[in-house]
């Protein structure tokens, strides 16, 4: 038993290091992409792109439909690629087609239609990444992240306007999806990623994951959408520059949680201790990062974005403290999902979204951009408190509803 616990702890640490490297790669490339994009475009054009990107991000979360989290949990239990992967890919492609057609007929924004084409290669990339993480091939996952970051930076460097940028990003996502397919078929045994349209049983099993992820991403992007609707393009560009920097600082959370998820899902020995150590470590790191960003906010904005964005320094000082409540929310959520309590998380996320809506509407109308930053921070603190309350009231029971659903998949 002691040997198993040592091996499990070693596996979590090793996977955390690989995922940390992947997140550092993604963080560095994301920050460089944002900086290049902000400098190549003016504040107004950057604000326009940010809104389009936020909408496509929400769409990508919806079309992924929670299958990435579900795949990690189920493939980690089976320790091999099953037919669920092909069905997940078929479901994501079908939903991507539905989204694109809905935009075409309901709100035919040409730029949004163009960038929404990225949803199709992103579906393949999502499934490939989930399989690599579930089977703990974090080294290959890092390679995929490195290639993806390179493509994004290249697209930003050679783009002169928003149209060229979106077209380049779509082409880049196609190339990365092909690379992900090649990696999976070459290194994962019995990996069949030909999409299957027999996804109805999967649809029934994963809808709670889809709702959780969509609500989570929507909550994170509400600030940008509300600022755009109330304050306009320039204000959106300023708010986005600060918000994107804070998002990049979450790389450590993704690394630790990504490594813990497979271990928690299969009930590996010592995984609970790894969870507690990870939570404590990330809380301490988040406080240090938030304090550092607040102290050097003006220097960071000036160095990374230039004088044109200096008004965002005050926003960054406030938004940086989101990292602390976000740490609590992320760890509590992943623990509940791993134990099959995603319905409890869903209820908490729905209530949190309603709270975010009210906060953004009131605070932006009354205090402008600074109100948006304060609303984001208060919303994150409230969400963490809600999830803690839910976790304490939720007893650990066998997720029989999922067991029954999985039998039909």
Contact 61, 122 (CB under 8 A): no
Any idea which of 44-48, 191-195, 245-249 has the lowest mean pLDDT?
191-195
* In the chain, % of residues over pLDDT 70: 83
Decide if pLDDT at 395 tops 60: no
The domain locations on the chain are 2-405
Q: Is 197 exposed, middle or buried (0-12, 13-18, 19+ CB in 10 A)?
A: exposed
Mean pLDDT, rounded, for 212-221:
79
Mean pLDDT, rounded, for 74-90:
80
Q: What value does the CA radius of gyration of the chain take, rounded to a whole number of Å?
A: 20
For 347-375, the pLDDT digits (tens) are 888 888 899 999 999 999 999 999 999 99
Q: Name all contacts of 292-298 with Cβ < 8 Å and 24+ positions apart.
A: 293/245, 293/246, 293/249, 293/317, 293/320, 294/320, 294/321
Mean pLDDT, rounded, for 95-106:
90
Decide if pLDDT at 49 tops 50: yes
Q: Give the pLDDT of residue 12.
A: 52
Q: Give the pLDDT of residue 17.
A: 64
Range ranked top by mean pLDDT from 208-222, 256-270, 394-408: 208-222
Mean pLDDT, rounded, for 193-207:
76
Q: Give the pLDDT of residue 7.
A: 42
Mean pLDDT, rounded, for 278-295:
87
- Would you place residue 21 in the very low, low, confident or very high pLDDT band (cuts 50, 70, 90)? low
- Would you place residue 105 in the very low, low, confident or very high pLDDT band (cuts 50, 70, 90)? confident
Decide if pLDDT at 173 tops 50: yes
Decide if pLDDT at 191 tops 80: no
Please list, in sequence order, all residues whose beta carbon lies within 8 angstroms of the beta carbon of residue 287, skipping any fewer than 6 positions away: 323, 324
How far is the C-alpha of 216 from the C-alpha of 214, rounded, in Å? Answer: 5
For 128-172, the pLDDT digits (tens) are 888 888 887 877 888 888 888 889 899 988 888 899 999 999 999
Contact 124, 180 (CB under 8 A): yes
Q: Give the pLDDT of residue 402.
A: 39
How far is the C-alpha of 288 from the C-alpha of 295, rounded, in Å? Answer: 11
| DSSP, residue by residue, 31-77 | HHHHHHHHHHS-HHHHHHHHHHHHHHHHHHHHHHTTHHHHHHHHHHH
Q: Give the pLDDT of residue 175.
A: 94
Of residues 318 and 106, which shows the higher confidence score? 318
- Would you place residue 76 in the very low, low, confident or very high pLDDT band (cuts 50, 70, 90)? confident
Decide if pLDDT at 85 tops 50: yes
Decide if pLDDT at 198 tops 80: no
Mean pLDDT, rounded, for 231-244:
87
Any idea which of 32-36, 100-104, 193-197, 392-396 has the lowest mean pLDDT?
392-396
* In the chain, % of residues over pLDDT 90: 25
Q: Give the pLDDT of residue 255.
A: 57
What DSSP character marks residue 188?
Answer: S
How far is the C-alpha of 398 from the C-alpha of 350, rounded, in Å? Answer: 23
- Would you place residue 1 in the very low, low, confident or very high pLDDT band (cuts 50, 70, 90)? very low
Mean pLDDT, the chain, rounded, equals 81
**CA 276, 278, 284, 286 torsion-angle sign:** negative
- Would you place residue 195 in the very low, low, confident or very high pLDDT band (cuts 50, 70, 90)? confident
* Cα–Cα distances in angstroms (integers) from residue 403 to residues 278, 301, 340, 357, 406, in the given order: 29, 49, 10, 35, 5
């Amino acid at each position: 038993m002691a040997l198993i616990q040592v091996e499990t702890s070693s596996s979590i640490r090793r996977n955390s290091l690989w995922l940390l490297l992947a997140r550092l790669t993604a963080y560095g490339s994301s920050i460089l992409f944002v900086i290049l994009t902000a400098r190549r475009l003016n504040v107004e054009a950057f604000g326009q792109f940010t809104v389009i990107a936020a909408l496509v991000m929400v769409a990508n979360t919806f079309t992924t439909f929670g299958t990435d989290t579900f795949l990690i949990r189920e493939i980690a239990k089976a320790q091999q690629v099953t037919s669920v992967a092909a069905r997940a890919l078929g479901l994501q492609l079908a939903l991507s087609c539905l989204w694109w057609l809905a935009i075409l007929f309901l709100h035919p924004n040409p730029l949004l239609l163009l960038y929404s084409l990225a949803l199709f290669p992103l579906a393949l990339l999502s499934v490939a990444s989930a399989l690599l993480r579930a089977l703990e091939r974090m080294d290959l996952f890092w390679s995929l992240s490195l290639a993806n970051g390179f493509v994004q930076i290249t697209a930003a460097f050679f783009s002169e306007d928003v149209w060229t940028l979106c077209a380049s990003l779509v082409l880049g996502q196609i190339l990365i999806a092909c690379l992900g397919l090649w990696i999976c078929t070459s290194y994962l045994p019995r990996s069949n990623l030909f999409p299957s349209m027999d996804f109805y049983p999967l649809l029934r099993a994963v809808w709670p994951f889809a709702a959780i992820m969509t609500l989570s991403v929507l909550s994170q992007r509400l600030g940008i959408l509300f600022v755009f609707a109330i304050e306009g393009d320039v204000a959106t560009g300023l708010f986005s520059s600060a918000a994107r920097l804070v998002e990049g600082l979450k790389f450590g959370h993704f690394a630790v949680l990504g490594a813990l998820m497979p271990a928690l899902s299969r009930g590996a020995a010592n995984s609970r201790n790894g969870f507690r150590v990870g939570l404590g470590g990330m809380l301490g790191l988040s406080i240090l990062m938030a304090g550092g960003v607040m102290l050097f906010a003006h220097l960071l904005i000036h160095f990374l974005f230039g004088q044109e964005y200096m008004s965002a320094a005050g926003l960054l000082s406030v938004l940086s403290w989101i990292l602390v409540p976000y740490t609590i929310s992320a760890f509590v959520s992943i623990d509940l999902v791993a134990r099959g309590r995603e319905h409890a998380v869903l209820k908490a996320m729905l209530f949190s979204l309603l709270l975010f809506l009210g906060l953004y509407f009131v605070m932006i109308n009354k205090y402008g951009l600074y109100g948006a930053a304060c609303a984001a921070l208060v919303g994150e603190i409230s969400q963490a408190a809600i999830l803690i309350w839910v976790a304490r009231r939720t007893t650990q029971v066998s997720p029989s509803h999922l067991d029954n659903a999985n039998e039909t998949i």
